Amino acid sequence: MDTRLLHTFTILARTASFTATAAELHLAQSTVTAQIRALEKALGTRLFDRLSRGAVLTESGRRLLDDAEAVLRAESRLFTTAAQEGPITGKVVVGAGETLCSAHLPSVIATLRDTHPDIDVDLQPSGTADAVEKLHSGRLDIALLLEEQVDVPELVVTRIGEQSLVLLCAPDHPLAGRDRPVTWEELAGEKFFLHEQGCSYSDRLARRLLAVPDGRPRLTRFGSIEAARSCATAGLGLTVLPRANVTTALREGSLVEVPGHALPDVPVHLARHRRRWASRATLAVEHALVAHFQPDDSRPEP
């Protein structure tokens, strides 16, 4: 059996759309239709019901999906084993939030180009919920998650580091340069520009501000950390960001730290689907990420 048919089957099962499957595989929609029909004929069963809302797995299709994915994983292991003696090659799709993508991943990818030039890293900005869904569907090989804890049974999750957070404002903001710490009661009356909902450290700060009795913080959420940082730089209010994302701004003085309560670090977790085969390239990328976030004496074995 041509395993390309199984690959098309698994993608159509995920997208429930012949059009989306064709686009993802860079095929004509008629080719996708022909491949599914060929697979159904070979297996002797109908895999999808073609409904107005899309392609829906039949009972047989749902029953055979796990086996199809297992065959594809076995095929991947076969090719990986055959290439054990050669250079590490392959494409690795990595998902990570915007703060990690902008401050950390470029240097990791640059290091990999020196150590493993035949590895192609495809970086996809992804929030936690999006990254978990893509790990389940196979669209991501690994993901970095900025969360207090990650409890998803299907994932193998390892804490590999943490991000130091800093509360920021413009140098001419009334709270800048205070000779005494700013209280939560004072902060709860301020304007904040925060990363979008779902960002663990922004959500945690928002909850803390909203819990202050009689506090009335004004919270604006952005899908981009650059937008939040720009508003704070312009003196419009405060923001909270990982220190690694504002080192230049702090050094140049366009942003300053607000004196007050220290914010707890946010952990960085490395996640991979428990049942999906990890190629040599994937393991090499994982090792490079661990090496970036952890000091030499605390790294786990690759």
Tens-digit pLDDT profile for residues 175-217: 998 888 899 999 999 999 999 888 899 999 999 999 999 989 9
Task: Fold for 165-264, please state it.
Answer: D-Maltodextrin-Binding Protein; domain 2 (3.40.190)
The rounded mean pLDDT for the chain is: 89
CA distances from 90 to 86, 107, 116, 133 (A): 12, 19, 10, 22
Q: 90-163+267-298: CATH homologous superfamily?
A: Periplasmic binding protein-like II (3.40.190.10)
Q: Is the pLDDT of residue 173 over 50?
A: yes
Is 263 buried (19+), middle (13-18) or exposed (0-12) by CB count in 10 A? middle
Which tokens go with 202?
């922004």
Give the span between the Cα atoms of 3 and 14, in whole angstroms: 17
What's the pLDDT score for residue 287?
A: 93
Residue spans of the domains in the chain: they are 3-82, 90-163+267-298, 165-264
Q: 3-82 with 90-163+267-298: one CATH topology?
A: no
Task: Fold for 3-82, please state it.
Answer: Arc Repressor Mutant, subunit A (1.10.10)
Is 219 buried (19+), middle (13-18) or exposed (0-12) by CB count in 10 A? middle
pTM reported for the whole predicted model: 0.72
Q: pLDDT tens for residues 112-150?
A: 999 999 999 999 999 898 999 999 888 899 999 999 889
Helices (H), 149-277: 184-187, 200-210, 225-233, 247-252
Please state whether 266 falls in left (phi above 0), alpha (psi between -120 and 50) or beta.
Answer: beta
